[in-house]
Amino acid sequence: MVKRCSWAANLVPLALGLAGCVAGTESATLGEAVSAPEDGDSDPGNDLRFVGGAAEAGAPPVWAPAQKSFLGTSVSAASRVYFTGYRGIVSEVFYPVLDTVNTVDLQFLVGDSAKTFVDEEKLQTYSVAQPDKRSMRWQVTTTNADHHWRITKNIFSDPGRNTLIQCVTFEALGDKNLGHFNLYLLHNPSMDNSGAGDTSRTLSLTAGGRKMLVASQDSRASALATSLPWRTASDGAAMVSNGFVGETDGWTDLLGGGADRTMDLRSDVASGGNVAQMGWIDLGTSTAKSASFTVVLGFGATETEAMTTASATLGDAVASLSAAYDSGWHGYTSALSTQGGTADDQYYLAAMSLKSIQDKSNGAMIAGMGTPWGETSGDSNSGGYHLVWPRDLFKFASALVTAGDTQTATSVVNYLFNTLQQTSDCGVAEYDAPGCPQGYSRVGRFPQNAWVSGWPYWQGTQMDEQAMPIVLAWRLGPSVYGPLWPKIKQTADYILEVGPWTQQERWEENSGYSPSTIAAEIAGLVCAATIARASGDTASAARYLAAADTWQQRVDRWTFTTTGYHGNGRYYLRINPSVRVNSGDGPGRYDPVSGPDAAITVTLGNGGGTHDQRYIVDGGFLELVRMGVKRPDDPSILDTLPEYDAILKRTLSGKGDAWFRYNYDGYGEKNDGSNYDGTGRGRLWPIFTAERGMFTIASTGVGSDGIPFLTAVKAFSTPEGFIPEQVWNASTNVTGWVVDTPPTVTPGTPTGSMNPLNWAMGEYISLLASIQAGKVVDIPSVVCDRYDACVVPPAAGEVGVALHVTASTVVGQHVYVTGNTAALGNWNTDLGIPVDPRSYPVWTNRVNLPASAGIQYKYYRKENGEVTWESLPNGGNRALTTPSSGTVTLNDTVIW
């Protein structure tokens, strides 16, 4: 395994890193013509040329590792370049949208002039840091002390152009000088999101003659150039190469089997395969100890556009571009909430990382800038995590709202409903959609995931992803959700038609009744009802609340077992795999054909096997609290915590508590440490540590109780502050599922899945803010208020009224109150307020009513949708005159 070195080691002062932005800035003029590939070598015996090539030449392409050491983009919308780094080198670069990779890696090879060694930059000791903690500019230092060299780079993008900039200083250490070294620049393009089928050429602008390494496929082109010239051969030809990976590329030339550490291969064109480019940078034979220069990777729709863009950046005052890049990020971070002064550097890094993964073309945000286990994953996995998942998008867009960035979240909501939401019915079912160009679709539905354009990638339906966009729209308020109401209504209607059953739950593997999915659906319907009422559609609001209440009242009946295999046998299942009854018009049509105590089996994904539904647990039940559907002290929630912790929690020494997704999870590295390939062993996820921290705050109302969980999440982060999808566990047994970890890795450090996971970065923001607020900041208040799971302070002109009503009922009956004011539903029994039987026979809730007002109200009960009113003298109503301020407690007794 690769060892990660301390980020604090061997840092070079910023001025040294930026020195390369000043040297060698001569360039051709924008818009100049491009000359043809050059073929001026007079010694063909030392030059193998590869023009054209096999249909798919080169080794099978793979993506870069998913463990990123830096990432970023300019805040400016004028630049559509988004970059990442792995072990201090540039890895995936995306252009012009965040789902389209065009580079896999860009690094230096360092050799000595005597040709006794050649070092790969990415294999050396390195450190990565932000010189400015409020900017996504990165300073990288890579060193090989034994071979006496050091490279320092400042990496950022041009705010006004589609270029990536590296300001580089190469240093000779000890008694060495520049004349002792050969420096090569190696680039593996992956144009238009494909490592295969690329063309690589050496081209130059006619005026100025700067030679560039140009790659292209379809309407994507890149141009690699430096402010220093390339070395030349004795015939005056540039020492540059275009070859095929693993066959004729620069790495194979210098380091492959039998290589003599000498650049022997030079070629002007490699076409139709997995190409790589290399150029030998001319450091001269000087006795100087260092050289500073600029490396620019430009992009465009054509080779000419890419070259002229790169040349323009090289011709600019690149130090000024760096300052402008920083200034853009300063403007962004200065507008963020400081969370009462508790916001730390990792909070700002999380917010900037999330802003960096928002596409500038339409507001979409992707799950992660890379492909899990990318080094063993090729073109067949074209999506990786650089796709849009509505669930992930909700999580981190909501975190940005918490951070004070409502503008980004607003653009996300508009993207969701105006671009991603489907507008037609096509196909029989998921993965059965003949004749449907975009696959299965239904009016109002959001696809499982999609390209930035909105074109679906996978075809599944996940019902939490239908509800979450509605919750996000509600959180942003009337100015956002008002214009979108017709589309929000379509999605809410779709939830009623399909839910609470889901074709896939949040782990994207199984169908049935999932506590986490149902929690989101209930919250989505309650928020949709609020939006409907604000839009004057009380009929829709009534339908949504009637279903939401039924699902809230029955979620235990559907997903809480009392005959389980673990602990005392009482806990929420991960999922009840039953199908929906789906017949009739009453609430019973939402019921499953089998309950959570039935001996039915579920087959898990990723090689997890087939098990009785009661054997599999996960933390999805905590979403019932996070979404405001249940109180944190609900008996079923408390009953499940011991089994959840006993089975899935692990305490990592010196770091803290972490949890597995579920028992028998196969999504992770294999027991021998090799990469996931469709089967493996799921590892520990830091997002569950954050989720548990917020549950703890919800339970106690004490923000500081979340601090140990925040500390653990920080401990699971990389030295740069990125929070991974998964971290290594110590070898363990999870209900018979052996999850071993090789001795070469450290428990609590990132695995090869995805780092950072944007969902996890968002949860850091949410947890820190909840600690400061003393409450979970993103629980939808309109949901928890309805289900007596929180106290919402009265608005101006309102008073709080506490309801305590003694009423006898039988199982299946639920008590409500309605009255002559909107807060009580205006006598509509589907808009009335449910009261909670937590202290049965006393039912409780709290409602904010108009101050100084005469209120008439009445209780009723529901059973399978049927309404029975309480019996009052003369069939009248109850009366209340609210005070001008303060609170009121009602102690009523109902007779049926």
First to last CA, the chain: 70
Count CB atoms within 10 A of the CB of residue 253.
24
56 is a catalytic site residue: no
Q: Phi, psi (5° rounding) for residue 813?
A: -100, 140
Residue 667 structure tokens: 């999504």
Residue 86 structure tokens: 């792995």
Q: How far apart are CA 799 and CA 797, in angstroms?
A: 7
Pure H helices in 668-751: 686-700, 707-716
Give CA separation, 552 vs 459, 548, 779, in Å: 28, 6, 16
Task: Report residue 27 CA to chain centroid gap.
Answer: 39
Q: Indicate the angle between helix axes 758-773 and 707-716, nearest 10 degrees.
A: 150
Q: Within a 13 Å sphere around the CA of 476, how many CA atoms are in the beta-carbon half? A: 28
Q: Phi, psi (5° rounding) for residue 316?
A: -85, 170
Q: How far apart are CA 26 and CA 316, in angstroms?
A: 9
- Report the candidate in 126, 119, 20, 143 with the shortest Cα–Cα distance to residue 69: 126
Q: How far apart are CA 127 and CA 140, in angstroms?
A: 6
Q: Calculate the CA dihedral of residues 246, 251, 255, 260 and round it to 10 degrees.
A: 110
Tell me what percent of the chain is helix, strand and coil, each rounded to the nearest 5.
30, 25, 45
Say if residue 14 is exposed, middle or buried (CB neighbours under 10 Å; 0-12, 13-18, 19+): middle
Q: How far apart are CA 44 and CA 663, in angstroms?
A: 62
Residue 786 structure tokens: 């309805």
CB 64 within 8 A of CB 104: yes
Pure H helices in 316-462: 318-334, 345-356, 390-402, 406-415
Is the bond leading into 756 cis (omega within 30 degrees of zero)?
Answer: yes
Which DSSP letter does residue 377 get? -
Tokens 């607020």: give the residue.
773
Q: Calculate the CA dihedral of residues 661, 665, 670, 671 and round it to 10 degrees.
A: 80
- Report the candidate in 382, 610, 428, 372 with the shortest Cα–Cα distance to residue 509: 610
Catalytic residue among 38, 305, 375, 508: 508
Catalytic residue among 430, 505, 725, 870: 505
CB 352 within 8 A of CB 758: no
Amino acid at 185: L
- Beta-carbon contacts of residue 317 (< 8 Å; ≥ 6 apart): 21, 25
Long-range contacts of 319-322 (CB under 8 A, 24+ apart): 319/18, 319/21, 319/22, 319/167, 321/21, 321/156, 321/158, 321/159, 321/160, 321/165, 322/18, 322/21, 322/137, 322/154, 322/156, 322/165, 322/167
CB 689 within 8 A of CB 712: yes
- Report the candidate in 313, 311, 312 with the shortest Cα–Cα distance to residue 322: 313
- Report the candidate in 225, 232, 227 with the shortest Cα–Cα distance to residue 38: 232
725 is a catalytic site residue: no
Say if residue 502 is exposed, middle or buried (CB neighbours under 10 Å; 0-12, 13-18, 19+): buried
CB 354 within 8 A of CB 761: yes
- Mind telling me the catalytic residues? 505, 508
